Structure 1
Amino acid sequence: MDEKGLNRGRVLLAVALAQFTVTMVMSIVNVALPAIRSGLGFAPDQLSWVINAYSLVFGGLLLLGGRAADLYGRRRLLVLGALVFAAASLGGTLAQDPTQLILARVVQGLGAAALAPAALAVLTTTQRAGKERARALGVYAAVSAVGGAIGVLAGGLLAEYGGWRWVMFVNVPLALAVAWLAMRYVPAGAAVGTRRLDVLGGVLGTAGIGLLVLGIVRTNQNAWTSATTLATLGGAAVLLFAFALVEIRPSTTDPLVRFSLLARRGIGGANLFLLLVCAGQFAGFYFVSLYLQQVLTLSPVATGAAFLPFCAGMIAGSALSTRLLAPFGAKALLVPGALVAAAGFGWFGLISPTGTFLTDILGPSLVAGFGIGVCFVPPTGTATEGLPPHEAGMASALLNSARQIGGALGLAVLVTVQVQHTDSALRAGTPAKEAMTDGYGLGLGLAGAVLAAAALVAAVVLPQRSRPAAPGRAAGAADTALTEVPQ
């Protein structure tokens, strides 16, 4: 497909639908978790693996998927990822026990790891630099922001009126639509088939991250100082150190991560900021969903509807952030945005066992949602800015890795703290509803603290605005209306 025949609007539709699908699937199962637990016989401390199985594989293999898109063609990876994702979703629909569902979620993560970085790389290399690309990045970021909230609403409707299996099946037509749009409208792009994919780095990075989260999650059964926990976390440290050595060795001509990218304050700071934001947001979604169903005893549909204010706040925050990014710059938006989100989750931490939607959910949902919405738009441009086309997949994968790894780690750590706190309260004789509320409130308050840390990162690490880009900047760089000084 040549430049004249390129329909950028349809390309953007394919990219937006791909990103919507991979972010929605993170949260659509949240509302269905109680139904999944009863339907397949999950133990309470195993239930978070329905989420973690997806996000771990997704986050761990994103770097491999992003580099594969650079080397073998972005459209090819986009279509392949969508088809694998659709097949895994169908497998999850037919699951008969916890193992089968977790395996389906693992394969979903594998498909998403090819789909997501290829989609963002397609966007940054097909949309014209300047206002057109800035608007496209705004659409992409907005879809990322609202996909999770819409997933909760859709999950509630499907779980109540169709059963939890529909929560998995709905992803099938979405992924197939992405594959069709990609085949029809996305240009094939140039593949660099003579270069080698860094499979060793991908295996080491994924295994290291997986062991890290596994070690944290299993502290429910094994103390932090136990031999099992120390061995698991030590193994994770060794694997991640080996990953870093593989990536920097001279013989690795095409590393998954060029660490000099992360040394730039704009790129490294944007990735760290988004990691912390997603760590707080994903855990917050999890706790609020369970509080609504297990403490306030709302139905799945009512629980999904209760997330509408959060969704509205995110849409409003994303729209405002897109509009104000050009005149004010990323840093001026991210610091107050993260602080507003932190305040919203801190407010959530005050939930009561006798609470209601109006007194405990509506206000903090609007505040937290608005802050999260503001936080999602600026990092997308900042973390892919000023790079040549052949590294678009790498930068896109880094950004998506920060999002998914942050979500997985945040969920693992905060759920572990919440479960231990709730169990301690139950052993002390606290009534079940009060014990659950105390645990969820603690988790939500800690999510607010993580978002406050994100605000600190934005204030300290991200560079100030600099002069606009000079004319004739390299084509294919993910320019926005603002640029940063290379670090």
Structure 2
Amino acid sequence: MLHARTAEDDLDDDRRGGRRGRLALGVLAACQLVLVVDASIVNIALPSVQRGLGFSDAGLSWVVNAYTLAFGGLLLLGGRAGDLLGHRRTFVAGVALFTAASFAGGLAGAPAALLAARAAQGASAALAGPGSLALIATTFPDGPRRSRALAVFAIAASGGMVVGLVLGGLLTAWASWRAVMFVNVPVGAAIVLLAPRALRESPRRRARFDLGGALTCTLGSVLLVYGLIRAAGHGWGEVRTVGALCAAAVLLGLFPLVEARAAQPVMPLGLWSERDRVGAFAMRLLLTAAMSGMMFFLTLFVQGVLRYGPLATGFGFLPTTVVLVAVSRAVPRLLPRYGARPLMVAGSVLCVAGMAWLTQVSADGSYLSLILGPVLLFGAGSGMVSVSATFAAMASVPSGEAGAASAVLQSMQQVGGSLGVAVLVTVDDATRGATPADGMRGAFTAGLVLTVAMTAVAAFGFRRGAEDQGRSGSQN
């Protein structure tokens, strides 16, 4: 027998929807955190990996680079696969493969086995990563709920780099480097089990796969990331570096021409037609470049100059994460009042201040006088920039292109990370004097230039009505 719905029935539906929304956000944020953490978690464990498996000095860097290369090179392909095949389906498949690759990496008994596992982790992360942000766009309606969800995602994306350093130090000190691989397994298994309950599948689209665009963008992206990695280790003038970057420039230059002729392009060119979205992509690139370079050299400074151990080094970066999370949680409440553009400007200025402070590092300094203040400033600034830029990049993206937009945003993060380290390493080599701190001051000065450029993009790279759009979008 049918009965009329009551206010209690509506309230029960809202509660169930709220619980499902929280579960969905937890699943998606946990996935993004794991994927970003894995880009940095092995850094502190590298000496233990070298001792355990007998890596050469040259081969050891590829424990990190194999992941970065596969992840950054395949992101656009993974994002479009989700748009065409369904984001939840692609997301779950990516997480399942990532979990299996992590387990294989923990069992690796030879360098080649670990490098293969790291490359498989990166490739599967390229499937899961774009889907996590695209599912936020399709799961949460436009307005305050989506703004809060994007803030949580941005916390995971930006804070994961620092969390990886802390967690890597803990696991290496208390267990072994293999724990760095195995820690992903229970988290990945939980995500695979919970995702079908928490996430709705996006509609599949009947379309021919753009093979030409997929090959062009994948090869171009892989060569670009590889060239930047080579530049950091061998210099910008080295033959393979120049060859990789030139080939990447040719392929990525041809990519828009290929896409313009494709019926269902891997990356819809319309994503680049809005000035605010392009500005948000640039902000993500510059923020990650500055942050990655800063963390790379701070790790060297704290361990090599201040003589901290791996565990103390990891905890030294913990204030960055605490401040970043606190500020990122506040941004969704500020967006309706101020909009995205002013918050990005304010956050960029804080990053400039933190990086300018770091240019004063010296061998006779201390953690409290040289490190704590800058990382607090940079953590606060990056929290404001990351959430606001993510909001601006995903605003008004058609549901059928959410995966591609997410992939571009995350590609900016991967390319930015490699670019930042390459640029700062180059400047460090060119300015190194009697002590390591001399070159590091030069490296942090290069980082300062990146943050100033980020401030310029925030101030002038968005339409003047962008703040009004941000306010209305957050309130709807």
Query: Does residue 253 of structure 2 align to residue 241 of structure 1?
Result: yes
Q: Which amino acid aligns with 1:54?
A: Y
What is the correspondence of 1:400-439 to structure 2 with a 5 Å cutoff?
400-419=410-429, 421-422=431-432, 425=433, 430=434, 434-435=435-436, 437-439=437-439
Q: Which amino acid aligns with 2:224?
A: L
**1:88-140 CA-partner distances (Å, limit 9, x unpaired):** 21222233444433332221111111111111111111112222222222222
Q: 1:167 to 1:438 in 2, by over 3 A?
A: farther
Q: 1:57 to 1:419 in 2, by over 3 A?
A: farther
Query: Does residue 330 of structure 2 align to residue 317 of structure 1?
Result: no
**1:257-288 CA-partner distances (Å, limit 9, x unpaired):** 12222121111110111111111111211221
The Cα shift of 1:303 comes to 0.9
What is the correspondence of 1:190-205 to structure 2 with a 5 Å cutoff?
190-192=203-205, 194-205=206-217
Q: 1:412 to 1:17 in 2, by over 3 A?
A: same
Q: 1:215 to 1:129 in 2, by over 3 A?
A: closer
> Residues of 2 paired with 1:458 and 1:295: CA distance?
35
Q: Which amino acid aligns with 1:356?
A: S
The Cα shift of 1:212 comes to 2.8
> Residues of 2 paired with 1:99 and 1:445: CA distance?
38
> Residues of 2 paired with 1:396 and 1:173: CA distance?
26
Q: Is the CA contact 1:220–1:419 (under 8 Å) kept in the aligned structure 2?
A: no
**1:417-474 CA-partner distances (Å, limit 9, x unpaired):** 435655xx4xxxx3xxx23x3333332332222122111111111123359679xxxx
The Cα shift of 1:42 comes to 4.6
> Residues of 1 paired with 2:120 and 2:238: CA distance?
32
2:316 to 298, 303, 306: 306
Cross-structure match for 1:124: 137
1:211 to 202, 223, 228: 223
SS in 1 for 2:329: helix
Cross-structure match for 1:276: 286
Cross-structure match for 2:474: 481
Q: 1:393 to 1:216 in 2, by over 3 A?
A: closer
User: Structure 1-normalised TM-score?
Assistant: 0.87
Query: Does residue 51 of structure 2 align to residue 50 of structure 1?
Result: no
Q: 1:467 to 1:290 in 2, by over 3 A?
A: closer
Query: Does residue 158 of structure 2 align to residue 165 of structure 1?
Result: no
Query: Does residue 264 of structure 2 align to residue 254 of structure 1?
Result: yes
Query: Does residue 102 of structure 2 align to residue 89 of structure 1?
Result: yes
Q: Is the CA contact 2:40–2:165 (under 8 Å) kept in the aligned structure 1?
A: yes
Q: Is the CA contact 1:89–1:168 (under 8 Å) kept in the aligned structure 2?
A: yes
> Residues of 2 paired with 1:469 and 1:352: CA distance?
45
SS in 2 for 1:481: helix
What is the correspondence of 1:350-369 to structure 2 with a 5 Å cutoff?
350-369=360-379
The Cα shift of 1:344 comes to 0.8
Cross-structure match for 1:10: 23
Q: 1:114 to 1:226 in 2, by over 3 A?
A: closer
> Residues of 2 paired with 1:291 and 1:197: CA distance?
48
- How many percent identity over aligned positions? 40
2:113 to 78, 91, 100: 100
The Cα shift of 1:302 comes to 0.7
> Residues of 2 paired with 1:37 and 1:342: CA distance?
36
Q: Where does the alignment leave 5 or more consecutive residues of structure 2 unmatched?
A: 1-12
**1:384-430 CA-partner distances (Å, limit 9, x unpaired):** 111221111111111111112211222233234435655xx4xxxx3
Q: Is the CA contact 1:82–1:112 (under 8 Å) kept in the aligned structure 2?
A: yes
> Residues of 1 paired with 2:208 and 2:94: CA distance?
20
Cross-structure match for 1:179: 192
Q: Is the CA contact 2:142–2:473 (under 8 Å) kept in the aligned structure 1?
A: yes
Cross-structure match for 1:384: 394
Q: Which amino acid aligns with 2:421?
A: L
Cross-structure match for 2:9: none
> Residues of 1 paired with 2:294 and 2:456: CA distance?
19
Q: Which amino acid aligns with 2:442?
A: L
> Residues of 1 paired with 2:125 and 2:247: CA distance?
26
Q: Is the CA contact 1:12–1:123 (under 8 Å) kept in the aligned structure 2?
A: yes
Q: 1:387 to 1:232 in 2, by over 3 A?
A: closer
SS in 2 for 1:347: helix
What is the correspondence of 1:366-377 to structure 2 with a 5 Å cutoff?
366-377=376-387
Cross-structure match for 2:8: none
1:293 to 300, 303, 306: 303
The Cα shift of 1:172 comes to 1.7
Query: Does residue 407 of structure 2 align to residue 397 of structure 1?
Result: yes
2:74 to 54, 57, 61: 61
Matched residue count = 460
**Greater mean deviation of Cα atoms: 198-207 or 281-290:** 198-207
Q: Is the CA contact 1:75–1:186 (under 8 Å) kept in the aligned structure 2?
A: yes
Cross-structure match for 1:349: 359
SS in 2 for 1:156: helix
Q: Is the CA contact 1:31–1:290 (under 8 Å) kept in the aligned structure 2?
A: no
**Greater mean deviation of Cα atoms: 109-118 or 96-105:** 96-105
**1:36-95 CA-partner distances (Å, limit 9, x unpaired):** 344445555655443332223212211111111111111111110101111121222233
Q: Which amino acid aligns with 2:388?
A: P
Q: 1:198 to 1:294 in 2, by over 3 A?
A: farther
Q: Is the CA contact 1:27–1:285 (under 8 Å) kept in the aligned structure 2?
A: no
Cross-structure match for 1:151: 164
> Residues of 2 paired with 1:267 and 1:186: CA distance?
26
Cross-structure match for 2:7: none
> Residues of 2 paired with 1:23 and 1:136: CA distance?
17
Cross-structure match for 2:10: none
Q: Is the CA contact 1:64–1:256 (under 8 Å) kept in the aligned structure 2?
A: yes
The Cα shift of 1:228 comes to 4.4
> Residues of 1 paired with 2:53 and 2:107: CA distance?
11
Q: 1:257 to 1:311 in 2, by over 3 A?
A: same
Q: 1:390 to 1:9 in 2, by over 3 A?
A: same
Cross-structure match for 2:90: 77
Query: Does residue 107 of structure 2 align to residue 114 of structure 1?
Result: no
Q: Is the CA contact 2:152–2:329 (under 8 Å) kept in the aligned structure 1?
A: no
Q: Which amino acid aligns with 1:353?
A: A
Q: Which amino acid aligns with 1:27?
A: S
> Residues of 2 paired with 1:164 and 1:286: CA distance?
19
The Cα shift of 1:229 comes to 4.1
Q: Which amino acid aligns with 2:366?
A: T
